[in-house]
Structure formats: C-alpha cells, structure tokens
Amino acid sequence: MRGKKTKTIRKVLHRIKKYWFYLGVSLILTMIAVAGTLYLPILTGKAVDHIVDKGLVDFEGLFAIFKNMLVFIAVTALAQWLMSLCNNRMTYCVVRDIRKDAFEKLEILPLKYVDDHPTGEIVSKVIADVDQFADGLLMGFTQLFSGVMTIVGTLGFMLSIHVGITLVVVVITPISLFVASFIAKKTFDMFKEQSITRGEQTALIDEMIGNQKVVQAFSKEEDVIERFEEINGRLEKCSLKATFFSSITNPATRFVNSLVYTGVGITGAFAVLKGFLTVGQLSSFLSYANQYTKPFNEISGVVTELQNALACAARIFELIEEKPQVPDKKDALVLGEVTGKVDLKDVSFSYVPGKKLIEHLNLSVKPGQRVAIVGPTGCGKTTVINLLMRFYDVDRGAIKVMDQDIRNITRKSLRSSYGMVLQDTWLKSGTILENIRMGKPDAAMEEVMEAAKASHAHSFIKRLPKGYDTVIGEDGGSLSQGQKQLLCIARVMLCLPPMLILDEATSSIDTRTELKIQNAFAKMMKGRTSFIVAHRLSTIKEADVILVMKDGNIIEQGNHGELLEKDGFYAKLYNSQFAV
Amino acid sequence: MKSLLKYLKGYKKESILAPLFKMLEASFELLVPLVMAAVIDKGIEGNNKSYIVSMCLVMILLGLIGFVCSITAQYFAAKAATGFARKLRYEMFSHIQKLSYSKLDTAGTATLITRMTSDVNQVQSGVNMFLRLFLRSPFIVIGAMVMAFYVDVKVAVVFAVAIPALSLVVFGIIFANIPLYKKVQNGLDKVLLITRENLNGIRVIRAFNREAEEIEDFDEKNIALTKIQLFAGRISALLNPITYVIINFALVILLYKGAVRVDTGYITQGDVIALISYMSQILIELVKLANLIVTLTKAAACASRIQGVMEIPEGMETEGERKEGAEKETGEEQDEQGRTTESSNIEETMENDEAVRFDHVGFTYEGAGGEVLTDMDFSVKKGETVGIIGGTGSGKSTLVQLIPRFYDANTGSVYVDGKEVREYEIEELRDKIGMVPQKAALFKGTIRDNILFGRKDATDEMIEEAIDVACAKEFIEAKEGGLSAKVEQGGRNLSGGQKQRLTIARALVRRPKILILDDSCSALDYATDAALRAGIKKLSYHPTVFIVSQRTASIQYADKIIVLDDGEIAGMGNHEELLKTCQVYQEIYDSQYKKEGR
C-alpha cells in the first residue's frame, strides 16, 4: 500500500519534471512571497514602537519604515501573482499530458480490456479522476509549499524576537494537528459510506435515465422515484454525518488557535513587564501566532486533498500503464495487393480461458467468394469477425490472408483491406460528410455523393436541413436506426476495400431498399471476398460457403444445396421460415 | 443559483440558524483584539499582573463559547446542505421522469446524468460553504470596521475606504469567473463526449484505422480545455495579490493616521495594535473568501446547468390541466370507470369494439423540417392483429409511438378504446398497453425482476405464460438459477436475441389490451419469430396486436396490414388484397420472396 503510494508520487513527480522551470520559479517566488508576508508584521511592530504615547511619536522613523513597507508590499504581491501563474500552468499542463496519454492509450488497448470494462468506468478515469487530480495538485502546489515555508519562516522570525514565547507557540500548536488527524481518522469510514451510497445512486440514475423511455412506456415512474428516494434518503443521512463530523475540524483547530493567541498574550505581556520585549514586538508576535497556526490547518486540509488526488492519479496510471495490444512486429508486412484469399487453419479461440468457444476451425476462402455465417441468436457469429479483423488474437492455429499469418501483417494494412458494417451502427458526432469520409478523409465531394447514392443514403441526406453538412449528435442523434445503417454502408462504399465484413448489416433496412443496396453490394463484391452474418436466407442462399454455427462451434459447412441435402440443422432452420 | 434556493425552503430554520451561530462566533472573535488592547494599555502600562491573567481567562472563555457556537453552526449548515441536495436530486429525478419523449430526445442522456450527480454534489458543497462562511466573512469584515470605528472614528475612515475597494475587487473577480467556469465545464463535456464515443465506437475506429485522427481530435479539444482553464486561472490569480496590496497599503495609512492620533493624545498605543489586529482579521477573512470563491463559482456554474434541466418544459399537458375539458364528456368518463375496474371480458364485448383509431393524424418531430406522418386515418378492432410495414424512415415506429402517447399528434387525434389519448391520465392509458421497443433495454437485477418490471404483482403463472409465449423459456431454464439468474446492467451478459425475448416477455406479463411489437423481433431467427406470433395468437385475453416489421413473413397473416411509404399510407388491407392492389407492398414482398422461389 505504502509502496504503491510512493510509486505513484514518483510517477507524478516524473511528469512534473518536464515543467521543472515553472516548478523552480514557483518555489523561489513562494519563498519571496512568504518572506515578504512574514517580514511585514516585524516592520509593523517596529512602527508601533515609534508610536509610544502623546507627543512621543517619531514621525521621521515612521516614514523610513513606511517606505520599506511599501517596497515589501509591492514585491510580495508581485511574487504571489507570478507564483499563481506558474502553478496554474504547471498543473494544467501536467493534467493535459496525462489526459492525452490516457486517451492515446485507449486507442491501443486490446479490445478485451474495453469489452470487459464498463464505458462509464473508463470515462470516469479519463475525466473525473483527472479533474480531481488537477484540483488536488493545484492546491498542493499553492498551499503546501507556502504552508511549510510559512511555518519555517515564522518559527525563524519568532525565534529571532524571543525564544520563550516561541516555545509556547511551538508546544501548543501541534494540538490542532492532533485534533485534525483524529477527526480525519474517525470520519474516514463515514466518507467511505457516503461514496458507496453515492455510487449506488449514480448507478440507478445511469440505468433509469439511460432507459427513460422504457420506464415511461411501462408507467414505472413512481416505482422508480420510490427506489430513488430510498437511496436518496440514505445518502442524505450518511452525507450529513460525514459532512458534519468532518466540519468539526475547523472550529476545533480554531479553538486551539485561540489558546495559542492567549498563551502568547499572557507570556508576552509578562515579558514586556520584565522588559524583555517591546509592545511593538508583542504585536508582531500576536500576528505571527495567527499566521503560524493557519498553515497547520491548511496543511491538514491539503493532505487529505492530496491523498485523494493521489488515489485518483493511481487509478489513471493504472489505465495508462495497462498492457497495450501486442504491437505490430517490427518486420510486419504491409499487405500489397489483396485478392481476398483467406485461410483459417485449425483456429481455436475463447474469451474466457477454460470456456471453450471456437475449436479447431478450418476454412479456406478463395478470392471473390461469399461466406455466410448463420445460426441461432447468440451462437458466436460475431466472434469470427473479431478474429478476422484481429480485434482479438487466436489462441491456437492461424488466420492467413494472402498466405500470410495476420499476426505478421501490420494491423493498419490488414484492417484497411476489409470494409466492415456492423449491426451496432456507430456514428461520430459531426457532420454527415465527416462520417462518410471516415475511411477516406481526402475523398472528393463527388465521390462521397457517389457512395451515398450507391447505398441509397443520398435521398434522405438531401432532405436533412443542411444536407451533407448536417451535424448529427452523439451516436447518430435523431437519425433512425435504418438511416444510420445506410450511412455506415456509404462509409464502406467510399473506401472500396478488397474484402467485406457485413454483420447483420441490413437488419434495420426495409427489404426494398435492401434489395437495391444489395445490387450495389453485388457490384462491389464482384471479385471481392465477403463475410456476411445474416438472418435473411435470401442473402445466404447466394453464398459460396455457408458456415452454420451453434453454441460457438461450426457444425455444418457447405453451400445451400449441399446443406439442404444433408437435412441437418441448416435445413431445419431454413424450413422454419415458412412454418407459421 | 437563486431559483434553486427554493429547495432550501424546507430547511428555513437550519439555513437561518447556521449563519446566525456563525456570526455569534465571529462576534466573540471580534472582541478578542479589544481584550488584548486592554491587556496592553491597562495591564502592561499599569503593571497589573492579575488583570492580565484575568483578561487572558476571558479570552479563553470567548474562544470556548466561539467553539460551541461554531459547531452548532456547522451542524445546521450540514443539515441544510444535505437536505437541500436530497430535495434537489429528488426534484430533478422526478422532473426527468415527467419529460416527454421529444424533450428527452433533445436533452440527451449523458448530460442529464452528469448534471444529476456531479453537478448536484458541487452545489451541495457550495451551499454548505455558503451557509458556513459566506455570511461569516462579510460579517467579520464589517464587524471589524464597526469595531474600528468604536476605537477611533478618524482612523477608522481608512477601513471605510479600504473595505468597499476590497469588495469591488472580490466580487468583480467572482462575476468575471462565473462564465469562465461554465466554459471550462463545457470544454470538459466535449472531452467527455469524445472519450465516450471512442469507447463505444472502438471497433469501427480501428477498422477504419482512425486512431491517429481521433487522437488529433482529442488533442485539439484537450488543448482548448487547458487554454480556457489557464485563462480562468489567470483571473483568479489576481485576487490574492490585489487584496494583499489594498489591505497592506491601508495598513500603512492606518499606522500613519494612528501615529498622528496618538501624538495628539486621542488614542493609545494599545488602540493602534487593536486596529492593526482588525486589519489583519480582515485580510485573513479575505483569503478564506478567495478560496471559497473557487468553490462557489463552480457551484454557481453547476447550479445554472441544473437550472437548465429544471427549465425543460415537461412537453405534455398533464391530465390536471385538461381536467375541465375531460369532465365535459361525462359519458365517456363513466365508460372509463367501467373499464378500469374491469378484468371481466363481458363488459368489454358490450362496448364499442374499436380498440384504436387514428383520425387524420399528422406528426412532426420537434425541430424537424417536414412531417413524418401525414394524414394517418384508420381504425383497428379489438383483438385484431395489425401489421405495419414500410421503408426505413417511413414512420412506422413513430406511428405506434403515438398510441401510448409518447408523442403528441400535431394534427388530428388518436383514440384508444373510443377515447382521445389526451384525455386519459397518462398512466391509465399506458397501463392498457404492452410496448416492446426497438432497442432492447434491460435493467440490472434478476430475470424475474426484469419481467416484473412489466407488472409488479404478476403471479408465477402469469410469468410462466409470458416467457412461454416470448420463447424465452428455453434459454432462461438453461441459465444458472433460471428466473433468478442475474442480468447485468443493460443486459450486457445476454445476447441480442435473448434480450429481445425478455423485453417481449416483460410486455406480455402485463396481459395488455394492446400489444405493440416495434420491430422487436429483428434479432430473432425465423423459427422463433414464427413461434412467437403463434403463441400470441393463442393468448386467452386476445390483445390487439401491432407488429412493426421489415419482413413480410412476420405480418403476412395479420388481419390488417398498413403499408407506409414516406409517412403516408400507401395501402391497407390483408395480404392477398395488398398483393393485388398495392404496388409498394408487392415490391416489398417480391424483394423477400421472389428469389427464393417458394
């Protein structure tokens, strides 16, 4: 635990190193600002000593002191200002770097990681944790440095005036630290309970608001509100406990401060009586007593904040240091011309070790062939696609494209030789044009329109308020599922890759349009190898090879005629179409 | 922020007592410098040791009373803040529950969620801080000034000039910062959006080798965020130095004026020290205030985002507002009562046998250009099965979504059981209907929980029937725990087809009068699809069924088929009739069957 923390600190420091210049300047400026702040009470004290009584005011001495004071004020303020600027820059730049690294990591993580972790969890690492870390870091920079320096500086100044009274301050002050850490320890569990309850509530909110339409369709609003209110009530209770008990810290330490103040007052007064101290020095002491205890309180606050920040940092680093996908081999080949020859040689694969899925799969696809993958729902059809695209690596055996093991090919060239349309349509927020151009950013407008026409998306795009420049929101916004799918097809049409993967690609498109698209597809597929996951038997019938899958295994393989003759699972599936 | 303060109403007592006790504490704190001045002037000057000791005891006493007051204040503040947050969350959540579909469409789920969680937390700590400190600080500042005037009016003039100047700076910076923090928050939203998008679309992004572009895009947004953060930081950074200069400059003037007054014998040295103490108290409070400002401006920005949610109109007139109109039609009202107490079939047959009627309905989505549905005019008898077929974007889903009044028709009216949908209590209307939406959304819990979502009080028998008809029995039994098997959030641990079957069971368990299958069999294979339809036919309560589909096979045996083309009815009738008369239908049918040469 402890070791982990130091490791995290080291990593944070490592990142700050890049901005050592700002760090150094900030440290120097902090020293100047603190020194200035501390020296001012001494000057004030001296000034007070020039103001003794009626007719006993030394104006000449006063003016000399005033001149000094003004200089110190100016320098201190300037140092404070520049210091804040440095701290800001350093913090936000470090945070920017971290966010960037985290995001870049997302792009090279194995898909397994993303599939296994809820989106919300990863997003909260990149956004909320980083933000919290920024707050903590900034507070750490600005308050921890100056706090520590103020303590040290005050101690020095106080010692230079009077040792005895300094001792009084030094002895009493730590009490506030004890009180603070005692309360922090006691409230830790309360905060934990609060954050657990909060998490529970967020999960409910996320789920219910995410599916608000279903909730309303079943008129479950009141039930849902009731469940919400139950958690809400618990949250209020534990939140009150945590907030209240932790907020005792402040009054408690302030009470200790007033003890210090009184202690200084009484010992100081006696010292003045004995002539060890002037009244002006006592006044300086009194302001020091205030200044000395303040950073203690702040530091205890900063320490909790920093610990929180470190915990966040640890979570982010976990993501950043997550093992990336196996990088392309150094000598990885770039696929040249691809005719579409694909071979699966004794492929075995499973998502969870020990839970067999695909076993000893053999398949050889000649250029231009159509491979249809059929089977009941949930039989693992999409797994084959995951393997072909190398979203996942096979456990045993090999997949070869153009007789090359795909692990020896750069991912980029492998993937750009496939055109993929998934059932789960995904569009980026941006304009329609940007979305179609995704695979070919430099495509000319005519090409884009050509592709859109071929996929029958053109007519609906034209009817949108701004045509191709219409901005669509997150996840396609107001487009219908079918329209989204048409756009996804247009996206592939534009790139014209040598091989195609269509996963239920036309499930939400009406069959009339589908027919037209398929004509376009047929033209496009001529001479191109294609893998099609489909329910529609009309699509499947024309395939050269049909893979029939059940429970993750390929149980039959052949063309339509052969499979019907076999009178196996496929025949049963096919005949059921008309068994109403 | 202001308009949200009404949620503090239930905590009036706490929100008044908290600052009150804080001020009490502050008053005791303000007395301390006076006591110290007395120590110096009377104790030291008069060499009176016992006086010094007793005065110090007074100071400790003041500290102790302050401590007690302060804790009381903290308690009330915490109570008010957490209660406020609870009320706010509740109000927001309930408000969102009431939003109509079109409002939900425009608002967006992601931002609703962040606003309900992190924004509310920010506001909660803002309110807490506000009650604790925001009144205390000005009070100390003003109190210190009053005390200064009490000590010496002439010198105290310095305070009267310095404090307004300080307030100007402090509040100026607050107000300059509020819009900036909003911008920061928006920048953060953009970064969040692209992160989410990349996770959801990871396969597509990698398939198109878009990683580098995405990183570039992210970078741009990231840098924009950093820039605005730095800019906001630059303005906040001014606060400390400027207040420091003003305070200390005032201190110098104070020393000079004080010196003149002491020289002429109006005040004592102890008085000058007390005045200095007051000045430094003000400085300390201002530093606190400055730190507070960050929290408060953030809270204010968050509050306005919350306010934005609360200001979304519900989008549908509620029954209460319409009651007057509804009550005029007393005849129907009575009809209705007969039906709600229902459950016997006899009464039903005695009534009008029309289940749903569309009377020249037209509909346009909010903010959309043209009509999605034009002049929908048809009626459906009880127990009939209606197939709705048509091209992508022809308005099939929209049509069925008008029945449970998810959207309101712009022209014409929709009638359910002979009554205009707008005249129903929404809940009453939707209770008649079992809806299976396109997107199969499930909830975390067990399979049983998810089915009971359709009807809380469903008996085992009803559940059994529902899963049987929905063809879900086989896979549920194969699961460990059967009906008690866990469903993860969103049904992640189930396949698309399994999810669809559960959503169908969820609708069936209500034994609805009207069952709507909105293209909800797309992930089912043909055999299951057919079995499902056969099962529905056999149901004892004979629901009126609407099937939206792309496949002619799914609707071909429906009593009535409505063919939609670009938002208009292109044909209506049964399969045979349509094959003869409706060209669009013929085309659809041919596209699916001709080649297969049945």
Give per-residue pLDDT as tens, A411-448: 888 888 888 887 777 888 888 998 898 888 888 999 99
Q: Is the pLDDT of residue A119 over 60?
A: yes
Q: Is the pLDDT of residue A475 over 70?
A: no
Mean pLDDT across chain B:
82
Chain A contacts in chain B segment 103-132 (CB below 8 A) = 104-105, 108-110, 112-113, 116-118, 121, 124, 128, 132
Domains of chain A: 2-162+277-320 (1.20.1560.10), 342-578 (3.40.50.300)
- The single-letter DSSP state of residue A323 is P
Q: Is the pLDDT of residue B326 over 80?
A: no
What confidence tier does B324 reach under pLDDT thresholds 50, 70, 90? very low
Chain A residues touching residue B265 (CB < 8 angstroms): 53-55
**Per the CB < 8 Å rule, is A279 touching B269?**
yes
Considering chain A, what percentage of its residues have pLDDT values greater than 70? 91
**Per the CB < 8 Å rule, is B204 touching A426?**
yes
A555 neighbors A548 (Cβ within 8 angstroms):
yes
Q: Is the pLDDT of residue B128 over 50?
A: yes
Q: Is the pLDDT of residue B509 over 80?
A: yes
**β-pair partners for B379:** B357
Spatial CA neighbour of B18 closest among B81, B64, B74, B83: B74
Rounded mean pLDDT of B406-412?
87
Nearest-5° Cα angle at A290, A286 to A292 = 110
Tell me, yes or no, if B224 comes closer than 8 A to chain A by beta carbon. Answer: no
Q: Is the pLDDT of residue B348 over 80?
A: no
Q: Which two tokens stand for residue B492?
A: 């992640």
**Per the CB < 8 Å rule, is A224 touching B64?**
no
Which residue, among A37, A42, A48, A406, would best test binding to B if mutated, counting the most B CBs under 10 Å from its CB? A48
Chain A residues touching residue B533 (CB < 8 angstroms): 580
> Which pLDDT does position A319 carry in this prediction?
86
CATH topology of domain B12-310: ABC transporter transmembrane region fold (1.20.1560)
Q: Residue A567 in 3-state DSSP? A: coil
Q: Is the pLDDT of residue B351 over 70?
A: no
Question: How far, in Å, CA of B146 to CA of B190, rounded?
Answer: 49
Chain A contacts in chain B segment 289-348 (CB below 8 A) = none
Spatial CA neighbour of B466 closest among B429, B434, B427: B434
A101 neighbors A93 (Cβ within 8 angstroms):
no
Residue of chain B nearest A377, judged by CA positions: B497
Spatial CA neighbour of A439 closest among A385, A514, A382, A489: A489
Rounded mean pLDDT of B506-520?
89
**Per the CB < 8 Å rule, is A428 touching B197?**
yes
Q: Is the pLDDT of residue A541 over 50?
A: yes
Q: Is the pLDDT of residue A8 over 80?
A: yes
**Sheet with strand A404-405: strands edge to edge:** A358-365, A342-349, A396-401, A404-405
> Which pLDDT does position A169 carry in this prediction?
81
Chain A residues touching residue B166 (CB < 8 angstroms): none
Lowest mean pLDDT among A29-43, A242-256, B339-353, B582-596: B339-353
Convert the pLDDT of each residue in A170-200 to its tens digit.
888 778 778 877 887 888 788 888 878 888 8
What confidence tier does A568 reach under pLDDT thresholds 50, 70, 90? confident
What confidence tier does B546 reach under pLDDT thresholds 50, 70, 90? very high
In the block, which residue shows the tokens 């020859």? A341
> Which pLDDT does position A504 carry in this prediction?
62
> Which pLDDT does position A507 carry in this prediction?
58
Q: Is the pLDDT of residue A70 over 90?
A: yes
Question: How far, in Å, CA of A392 to CA of A389, rounded?
Answer: 8
Q: Is the pLDDT of residue B381 over 80?
A: yes
- CATH class of domain segment(s) B343-432+512-598: alpha beta
Residue of chain B nearest A83, judged by CA positions: B237
> Which pLDDT does position B179 carry in this prediction?
84
Chain B residues touching residue A214 (CB < 8 angstroms): 437, 441
**Per the CB < 8 Å rule, is A81 touching B238?**
yes
What confidence tier does A2 reach under pLDDT thresholds 50, 70, 90? low
Which residue, among A32, A44, A228, A292, would best test binding to B if mutated, counting the most B CBs under 10 Å from its CB? A44
**Per the CB < 8 Å rule, is A211 touching B441?**
yes
Q: Is the pLDDT of residue B474 over 50?
A: yes
Question: How far, in Å, CA of B100 to CA of A408, rounded?
Answer: 54
Convert the pLDDT of each residue in B264-274 to its tens digit.
888 888 888 88
> Which pLDDT does position A245 carry in this prediction?
87
In chain B, where the domains are located: 12-310, 343-432+512-598, 441-508
Nearest-5° Cα angle at A108, A102 to A113 = 85
Convert the pLDDT of each residue in B478-505 to its tens digit.
888 888 988 887 777 787 788 888 999 9
**Per the CB < 8 Å rule, is A287 touching B280?**
yes
Q: Is the pLDDT of residue B319 over 60?
A: no
Q: Which two tokens stand for residue B320?
A: 């209460």
- In DSSP notation, B146-192 reads HHHHHH-HHHHHHHHHHHHHHHHHHHHHHHHHHHHHHHHHHHHHHHH
What confidence tier does B332 reach under pLDDT thresholds 50, 70, 90? very low
**Per the CB < 8 Å rule, is B262 touching A51?**
yes
Which residue, among A60, A103, A293, A304, would best test binding to B if mutated, counting the most B CBs under 10 Å from its CB? A103
Q: Is the pLDDT of residue B134 over 90?
A: no
**Per the CB < 8 Å rule, is A122 touching B256?**
no
> Which pLDDT does position A577 carry in this prediction?
54
Q: What is the CA radius of gyration of chain A?
A: 36
CA B99, chain centre distance (Å): 10
Convert the pLDDT of each residue in B213-258 to its tens digit.
889 889 999 999 999 989 988 888 888 899 889 989 999 999 999 8
Q: Contacts for A447-453 with beta carbons within 8 Å, 24 or more apart?
A: A447/A494, A448/A490, A448/A494, A451/A490, A451/A491, A451/A493, A451/A494, A452/A490, A452/A493
> Which pLDDT does position B335 carry in this prediction?
40
A437 neighbors A475 (Cβ within 8 angstroms):
no
> Which pLDDT does position A538 carry in this prediction?
65
> Which pLDDT does position B515 carry in this prediction?
92
Of chain A, the end-to-end C-alpha distance in Å amounts to: 64
Q: Is the pLDDT of residue B121 over 90?
A: no
**Per the CB < 8 Å rule, is A420 touching B431?**
no
- CB-CB: which of A119, A213, A577 is closest to B437? A213
> Which pLDDT does position B388 carry in this prediction?
92
Q: Is the pLDDT of residue B358 over 60?
A: yes
Phi, psi of B434 (to 5 degrees): -110, 115
Rounded mean pLDDT of A284-306?
74
Tell me, yes or no, if B419 comes closer than 8 A to chain A by beta carbon. Answer: no
- State whether the Cα torsion A187-A193-A196-A197 is positive or negative: negative
Phi, psi of A508 (to 5 degrees): -105, 10
Q: What residues contact residue B358 under an 8 Å CB cut-off, 6+ apart?
A: B376, B377, B378, B379, B399, B402, B412, B414, B415
What confidence tier does A535 reach under pLDDT thresholds 50, 70, 90? low
Question: How far, in Å, CA of B538 to CA of B531, rounded?
Answer: 11
- The single-letter DSSP state of residue B453 is T
Which residue, among B155, B392, B402, B518, would best test binding to A if mutated, counting the most A CBs under 10 Å from its CB? B392
Choice between A105 and B280, residue whose per-residue pLDDT is larger: A105
Q: CATH topology of B12-310 equal to that of B343-432+512-598?
A: no
Question: How far, in Å, CA of A360 to CA of A77, rounded?
Answer: 75
**Per the CB < 8 Å rule, is A88 touching B234?**
yes
- CB-CB: which of A73, A244, A464 is closest to B78? A244
Rounded mean pLDDT of A448-470?
86
Chain B residues touching residue A251 (CB < 8 angstroms): 25, 66-67, 70-71, 74
- CB-CB: which of B101, B211, B237 is closest to A213? B101
Considering chain B, what percentage of its residues have pLDDT values greater than 70? 90
Spatial CA neighbour of A8 closest among A319, A320, A323, A314: A314
- CB-CB: which of B44, B67, B203 is closest to A391? B203
Convert the pLDDT of each residue in A30-61 to its tens digit.
989 988 888 888 888 888 888 877 777 888 88
> Which pLDDT does position A207 carry in this prediction?
80
Q: Which two tokens stand for residue B272?
A: 């000058």
Lowest mean pLDDT among A177-191, A258-272, A310-324: A177-191
